Amino acid sequence: MLYTEQVIKHFKKPHNQGVIKNADAIGQKGNLACGDVMKIYLKIGKKKNGHESENFIKNIKFETLGCAAAIAVSSALTDRIKGMTFKEALAVNKDDIVNDLGGLPAPKIHCSMLGLEALHEAIENYDKK
Ligand code: FES
């Protein structure tokens, strides 16, 4: 399987690429097998949910040093989770991202984990604050 049109589009013009200065949380993950690295920056807001308020992802940016699939995954992931509460964002799995991209070649499926792992770490880091 070759890269889909969606992968190529996200790779050529990634969405949400860059740094958030004064980010509320940062997560970074590397893939030991290939050496690729992804860093996620989050800006967090509060959403009212009845009497409670919930954290949500107001803004998200990424920096990825990696393969075409890792960059496309980062772009699609950040598009999908912007505006989500932490609970919603943590429920997103690799199949959601692979589907958003119209599929990934089998040897590249592992690349979809990098973004999710960096996101989970950023949320964990925020919760530890
Ligand atoms: Fe390393 Fe894709 S080959 S994340």
Mean pLDDT score of the chain: 94
CA 46 to centroid of ligand 1, rounded, Å:
34
CATH code for the domain of 13: 3.90.1010.10
Distance CA 80, CA 20 (A): 18
User: How many domains does the structure of the chain reveal?
Assistant: 1
Instruction: Please give the C-alpha separations between residue 49 and each of 13, 24, 78, 109, in angstroms, as whole numbers.
Output: 35, 21, 23, 35
Half-sphere exposure at residue 86, Cβ-oriented, CA atoms within 13 angstroms: 17
Residue nearest to atom 2 of ligand 1 (CA): 111
CA 124 to centroid of ligand 1, rounded, Å:
23
Going by pLDDT thresholds of 50, 70 and 90, the confidence category of residue 129 is confident
Does residue 1 surpass a pLDDT of 80? no
Q: What would the pLDDT profile of 88-128 be if each residue is shown by its tens digit?
A: 999 999 999 999 999 999 999 888 899 999 999 999 999 88
Residues 6 or more apart whose Cβ sits within 8 Å of residue 110: 31, 33
Domain that holds residue 69: 5-127
CA 67 to centroid of ligand 1, rounded, Å:
5
Residues within 6 Å of ligand 1 by CB = 31, 34, 36, 66-67, 69-70, 108, 111, 114
* Better pLDDT: 1 or 52: 52
Atom of ligand 1 nearest to the CA of 114: 4
pLDDT at position 52? 86
Distance CA 62, CA 73 (A): 11
Residue nearest to atom 4 of ligand 1 (CA): 111
